[in-house]
Amino acid sequence: MNENIDQEDDVSVNYNARKYRTPDGAPTDIVIFTITSTDRAKAKKTLPHRELQVLLIKRKRWPFEGRWALPGGFTNETETVHECAKRELCEETGVKNVHIEYFNAYSAPNRDPRGWMISHAFFALVNEVELSSREAASDAAEVGLFSMDEAAAMELAFDHNLILQDALARIREMMVTTTIAKSFLPVEFTISELYQVLQTVVPDFEERNFIRKITSTQSRRGIIEEVRNRAGEPMLSNRHSQRAAQLYRFTDYVPRLSIYS
Amino acid sequence: MNENIDQEDDVSVNYNARKYRTPDGAPTDIVIFTITSTDRAKAKKTLPHRELQVLLIKRKRWPFEGRWALPGGFTNETETVHECAKRELCEETGVKNVHIEYFNAYSAPNRDPRGWMISHAFFALVNEVELSSREAASDAAEVGLFSMDEAAAMELAFDHNLILQDALARIREMMVTTTIAKSFLPVEFTISELYQVLQTVVPDFEERNFIRKITSTQSRRGIIEEVRNRAGEPMLSNRHSQRAAQLYRFTDYVPRLSIYS
DNA sequence: CCAATAGTGTCTATGAGACACTATCAG
DNA sequence: CTGATAGTGTCTCATAGACACTATTGG
């Protein structure tokens, strides 16, 4: 047991980490979520079909050669794991400045055949429009988007099935408690789009009077605001409907939730 | 740059991590919070003065010898970082089965003079009654409880000031969105005690009609329940007051919060 | 004029928030 | 009978939740 190195080691300025078994790397794994919209085959304008998907890459090397895995890579000594994750995300998808967040460490012994690897897991939320250009550029055989059902049915490399499920649970919770839904929406969106995105990530989210609560209650006033043009007229969109719908955008307001009030 | 080792390395079953710069250890740091109660010097029964405190240890070795630091230690290859944190918590305080939770990784280059150390930070919530026995046993000069103000004013070892502030922000948020307040309370408690604990951790938490909301509104019904004896009579406590107060306990109910409903 | 989306009217029951008020009881 | 804690009465206004209803407009 090499616990308490810093307390039970002999007192020495010449601390030498090489005396101990040390990790064989500090990998990051990034669960990249996106929501794809596919137009339903109808003559009239309709809301698209949306699906939550995760980006996976096909491994070309041992270990788990040929298996699908979460994108990621090894952290350098000169960067933080957060910087590493952002770098890997950019390399994999070409996007920057998206919502990326650390959520857990995976450190089960033998989770990686290459050695003692404690993985730092992140999730990222990427808008499909930002992802689409990269999709074409990549080798389609090696990068793929999969629905949650598809991914859950696959045998991913390492403990990536577990990481994916944990990430999914996390974003489901955050989807309704924070404003991260904005990552899956254009800056200006309609209430239906917002509602659809929420339902796509959290299937059992249901609010029958959603439009009223979001637009005409004090407590939620401030999360989103109506978009108006310079003349102060409401801006509308009819991209999904005959009747034009009011456009909204998220504000910077961060609501405080509490189980006690 | 040794990024993407697993993809850009030559194909080889004889992967050798020693070819790369690897971390020099996988330390954990544990922010152990407790709430102390000290009776106010009064003749009559009063509510105690409560204060949120954090447990720190005085380092005996290089680096940062003599400085106060968060307790923690190095993870072994045979355990997860979560197991390591629980082990260290038990060694430091003697308590098991308390709320301990992972919340972030600290990986800034050069955060540790001993080498490349990515620290896994946990916070733990320990009831003062569980901590009191250990307090006497420990060398008082080396283990101490400090208020948030005291600790923030100290120059802690490593980046432990940052870790402490992050942990504090996290438990402040969780204190009002989850039922972790139970960690600082006896199993059976009065409404005043609960309210006091909430205010101790989150100073700007204020609910003037707290007792009504918690006891007589549908939406919160289920978080706590009245304690009754076998005969079905309400159990009361007068430990802090002349007039006896109803005792409550937390249920297993986990409320779902949402900014959209 | 239909289908699909957008949005309103209206009702009831419940809760939020404010503030004054009563209850208990050791010292 | 005072001080400290515990808890209630009562008011107004806002909101939740349900459900039927109207509005818009391309095809």
pLDDT at B188: 97
- Phi–psi pair at B100, nearest 5 degrees: -135, 135
| Nearest-by-Cβ selection for B81 from A21, A80, A107 | A107
Measured distance CA(A76)–CA(A126) in Å, rounded: 24
H/E run at residue A93 = helix A81-93
Query: What pLDDT score does A18 carry?
Result: 60
Q: Which of the four pLDDT bands, split at 50, 70 and 90, describes residue B217?
A: confident
Catalytically annotated residues of B: 142
Q: Note whether B28 and B69 are within 8 A (CB).
A: no
Residues A157 and A231 in one domain: no
Kindly determine whether residue B220 and residue A260, on different chains, have CB atoms separated by under 8 Å. yes
Judge whether B257 lies within some domain: no
Average pLDDT over residues A141-161: 95
Domain edge (last residue) among A127, A148, A175: A175
Do B160 and B239 share a domain, yes or no? no
Closest CA to A129 of A201, A54, A48, A185: A185
Q: Quick one: pLDDT band at residue B16, thresholds 50, 70, 90?
A: low
What percent of chain A has a predicted confidence (pLDDT) above 90? 76
Contact residues on chain A for B21, CB-CB shorter than 8 A: 76-77
Give the CA A165 to C1' C4 distance in Å: 35
Of A214, A220, A221, A169, residue with least CA distance to A193: A214
Over residues B75-93, the mean pLDDT reads 95
Same domain for B221 and B144? no
**Pick from A200, A106, A115: which is nearest to A161 by CA?**
A106
Whether A7 is in a domain gets the answer: no
Taking only the tens place, the pLDDT of each residue in A215-237 is: 988 777 789 999 999 999 999 99
B231 within some domain: yes
Residues 6 or more apart in contact with residue A227 via CB below 8 angstroms: A188, A234, A235, A246, A247, A248, A249
Judged against a pLDDT cut of 90, whether residue A44 lies above it is answered with no
State the average pLDDT over residues A95-99.
94
CA dihedral A80, A84, A90, A93 (to 10 degrees): -140
Residue-wise pLDDT tens digits, A180-227: 999 999 999 999 999 999 999 999 999 999 999 999 887 777 899 999
- Between the alpha carbon of residue B202 and those of residues A147, B8, B10, B145, B195, the distances in Å are 40, 49, 54, 19, 10
Residue the block writes with tokens 């910077």? A252
Say what the pLDDT of residue B134 is. Answer: 65
- What mean pLDDT is predicted for residues A223-252? 94
B14 occurs within a structural domain? no
pLDDT of res. B261: 85
Q: Are strands B143-147 and B49-58 parallel, antiparallel or unpaired?
A: antiparallel
Predicted structure pTM score: 0.92
Residue A257 within a domain:
no
Q: Are residues A152 and A32 in the same domain?
A: yes
Which residue do the tokens 């003062």 mark? B128
Domain assignment present for A20: no
CATH number assigned to the domain comprising residue B162: 3.90.79.10
Say whether both A201 and A246 belong to one domain. yes
Q: Are residues A100 and A198 in the same domain?
A: no
Structure token digits, residue A196: 């659809």
How far is the C-alpha of A164 from the C-alpha of B190, rounded, in Å? 41
Tens digits of residue pLDDT in B222-256: 899 999 999 989 999 999 999 999 999 999 999 88
Are B68 and B112 in the same domain? yes
Predicted confidence (pLDDT) at residue B49 exceeds the cutoff of 90:
yes
Instruction: Write down the pLDDT at residue A157.
Output: 97
pLDDT in tens, A60-87: 989 999 999 999 999 999 999 999 999 9
Q: Which among A196, A83, A149, A109 has a CA at the least distance from the CA of B1?
A: A83
Structural domain for A215, as ranges? 180-250
Contacts of B120 (CB under 8 A, 6+ apart): A105, A107, A118, B26, B27, B28, B29, B75, B81, B84, B85, B102, B105
Residue B140: the pLDDT is 60
Q: Same domain, yes or no, for B209 and B114?
A: no
Contact list in B for residue A76 (CB cut-off 8 A) is 1-3, 21
**Whole-Å CA distances, B250 to B158, B179, B198:** 38, 8, 14
CA distance B72 to B85: 7
End-to-end CA, chain A: 48
| Interface contact flag, B257 A177, Cβ < 8 Å | yes
In a shared domain, residues A130 and A52: yes
- Give the burial string for B166-199 (b: 16+ CB within 10 Å, else e): bbbebbbebbbbebbbbbbbeeebbbebbbbbbb
How many domains, in total, are found in chain B? Answer: 2
CA distance A119 to A122: 10
| Protein side of the strand D interface (CB < 7 A) | A 43-45, 207-209, 212-213, 216-219, 238, 241-244; B 42, 44-47, 190-192, 211-212, 215, 236, 240-246, 261
Q: Do A79 and B114 touch (CB under 8 A)?
A: no
Q: Which of A175, A202, A221 is the last residue of a domain?
A: A175
Model confidence at A14, pLDDT cuts 50, 70, 90, reads low
Domain check: are B33 and B69 in the same one?
Answer: yes
The residues pairing with A200 across neighbouring beta strands, listed in sequence order, are none
Q: Write out the E strands in A196-255.
A: 224-226, 236-237, 245-250
pLDDT, residue B4, reads 42
d(CA B18, CA B238): 65
**Secondary structure tally for chain B: helices H, strands E:** 7, 11
Claim to verify: residue A94 and residue A112 sit in the same structural domain: yes
Residue type, B7: Q
pLDDT over 70, % of chain A:
88
Residue B77 clears pLDDT 70, i.e. is over it: yes
Question: Residue B12's pLDDT band (boundaries 50, 70, 90)?
Answer: very low
> A154 and A60 in one domain?
yes
Chain C footprint bases within 7 A of protein beta carbons: 3-9, 14-19, 23-27
Look up A130 and say whether it is catalytic. no
Does A242 reside within a domain?
A: yes
Residue A152 falls within a domain, yes or no? yes
Q: Which of B115, B143, B175 is the last residue of a domain?
A: B175
